[in-house]
Every structure is written in C-alpha cells, then in structure tokens.
Amino acid sequence: MSDQPPLPPIVIFSFTREDYLRRLCASLRAQQGVRLEEGRVHLVQDGARSPRSGNVYGDPARIEASIAAFREAFPGGHVHASADNLGIAMNIQRGEALVFETLDAEVGYFFEDDLELGPWYLATLEAMRAQLGAHPEIGYFAAYGDHRRVSDPDAPKLVPLEHHWGFGLTRRCWRAMQPWLQPFLRTYGRVDYQMRPDLAIAELYLDKPVAHTASSQDVAKTMACADLGFARVNTDVCFARYIGERGESFSPAGFTRLGFPAMAYATERPRHAPAITPAAVEEIIRAKRASCTEFRQTAFPARLEELRGRILNPDRLVTREELDQLWRLLMDRAPDAADYYANTVGRRTVREVRTALLRSREARGKSFYMV
C-alpha cells in the first residue's frame, strides 16, 4: 500500500527450525494494512559450531535450509549469517544492535521463528507505535495476545507482555537496558548458551532490587525493564499464534498443557486500535516492579540457597578447601609450593584454577585432560 509509511526494520531470529521459519515468513508476506518493503527485512541466522567449546548445536544442512526459506520469501531481504554458534542471547543482541546501532532506528520489530502472524499483526503494532510519543516509558509492545483471556476482537485492550516472541522495541529502552544487562551479556558471551551457569546468573541479581532464578536472556530483560521503569505491553486479543512446539523453552507436552494448539488469531482488523492510556501503562509498570521486588525480598534468598546446594558458581574466588579438593581430584596430589595457597586462595576463581590445572604440563604429561 503506497500511501502507508515505511515500517521499522524487521529482524527475524533463526536457527534450525526451517519449517517454523517458513510459516512466519509466509505470514509476514500476507500482512494487510501496511507497506512491507523487503529491503527492511533481516534474517539474523545463528551458526552451528560453538567457537568456545567446539560443540555442534545445529545441523548445518538445516541452517542452510532456513536461509533458503527466508530468501525464497524475501529475495530482497538481508541475511546476516553467523559463522559460529552464538547462542540465543548473543544472536538476539546482535540483531538488536543491528537495528539500533547500525541502522540507527528508533523502533525495531523483532520475531523469533516460532510465531505465526495473523493478517493484521503489523498493522496493530503500527497502531501502537503511533501512540509511543505520548508514552516514552513503553519499552516493548506486542500483539500476539493472551489466549487464556476472553477478549473482544474489535476492542483490544492492554495487558502485560510476557514472552518476547514478536515485539516492537524502542531504542530508548534498549539503550537504557545496556548498562544494566552488561554482567548478563558478559556471562552469556563466554559460555555456550545451552550450558549457561544458572547459579552465576542468579547471583548477578544480588545487588539489584529485582530478581529471578531463571537464567534466560528473556528473563534478564524482563528484570531490567521492571527495575528501570519500562512497560512491556501486549494486547489481550490474539493477532498471532504461537507454534513453537519444539524449541529451547517448550516441549510438545508443555505446548499442549498450556493450550497453544487451540490458540487462534483474529482475522479481521479491529474497529478500534488498542488504546494506550497513562493509567494502563502505569499499572503495568507498577504491578511488574512490585512482583519482582517482592520476589527479591521474600522467595529469592531461599531459592538461591537451594541453587547453591546443587550448583557451584565457578566464577567466585576459590577457598582453601576447594583448592585442596581440586588438586586431589584433578592432579592426584596436593600442591608443592608453600606460597601457592597465599597467591591463590581468595585471589583466583574456581574456574581459573580448574582451567589452569586441566591445561597444565603435568596433566598433559600424565595423559589426563585437556590438550
């Protein structure tokens, strides 16, 4: 539609689910009420092999199939394929930096590959974007709805946003979150995301007024918005449906238990655009911050101790007892040098000591561990 203004940049995050990606791309091409320009659509494709561990997390053939599916749908779009497996957190960070740093856009539309859009999804996002000027405290906005609610498809209302499946994000919010998220991004960036250290990530909340014991990047961003006072809003009406039966967060059993097979989207344009009111936005901000701070004050300490009973944080400073245990378990002996304890205990992390031992000349000579 030539009389429509251009959309913000659109980024699709993809890995090895080319069947889902194909459905998302087809639903994007079928959007009504907006002008979709292929040159503003970007595929941010993760790679197969981790540069940190050498582990292969995806079939290269399926990665190529995903790229082919995107190019078939958007021959004029842009493919940003990583040679390495970055993991979900760093691949998403890469796509967001593309929009807000490289393209210098004020708003970006971001989609994981497991959302199938109804025909009025982008038009509904655009109706919400048009109201952002009066509400600078909105950070995320989406329209995939809440399939558990009874709603009027002609008069969508605001509800809190939960999952970041298909959303608009403002540059103002993204920039504000970056300093807050830096400890999390450093942690995600030095490990394979599938093996991320749950305890170490949970302990990053110790000096913050909000907290969670889940370790995903989605949760970290949720906590950042709650602490910084940004609203994450959704419509109650479903303008898309979630199709991610297989993935990082869902199994077929969980997908069915939560009722997603029955999720249906609106097929007609609503008579009234979602109305963003100061009262609704303020209540969403207040309620989310209140629940996150209450969790930090009440449930978090006990949950953290439970995690500590099961998991070691390798990035904390090593104790004398742990040092002795590491040497005996890994080297079959105690350390020789008298000053070794003074130079190591409370000065180096468990990870640093463990890695040094595993890579030592002595361990290699005994044909024990890392080469």
Tens digit of each residue's pLDDT (9 = 90 or more) over 19-31: 999 999 999 999 9
User: Any idea which fold 10-296 has?
Assistant: Spore Coat Polysaccharide Biosynthesis Protein SpsA; Chain A (3.90.550)
Boundaries of every domain in the chain = 10-296, 320-365
Torsion of CA 365, 367, 369, 370, to 10 degrees: 70
Token couple for 99: 């929009």
How confident is the model over 334-350, as pLDDT tens digits? Answer: 998 879 999 999 999 99
Is residue 67 over pLDDT 90?
Answer: yes
Is residue 370 over pLDDT 80?
Answer: no
- Label residue 366 by pLDDT band (50, 70, 90): confident
Q: Given this model, what pLDDT does residue 2 score?
A: 56
What is the average per-residue pLDDT within 352-358? 93
The Cα-based distances of 116 to 26, 159, 177, 234, 355 in angstroms read 9, 20, 28, 16, 44
List, in order, residues 6 or more apart from 167 with CB less than 8 Å away.
109, 110, 140, 141, 142, 161
> What is the SS3 assignment for 71?
helix
- Please give the residue that has the higher pLDDT: either 365 or 119: 119
Q: Given this model, what pLDDT does residue 1 score?
A: 46
Strands 166-170 and 107-112, how do they pair? antiparallel
Burial class (CB in 10 A: 0-12, 13-18, 19+), 185: middle
Q: Are 65 and 18 in contact (CB under 8 A)?
A: yes
Torsion of CA 24, 26, 31, 34, to 10 degrees: 90
How confident is the model over 120-138, as pLDDT tens digits? Answer: 999 999 999 999 999 999 9
DSSP secondary structure string for all residues of 202-255: HHTTTTSS---S---HHHHHHHHHHHHT-EEEEESS-SEEE--SSSSS--HHHH
Token couple for 252: 């077929």
Q: Does the pTM exceed 0.85?
A: yes
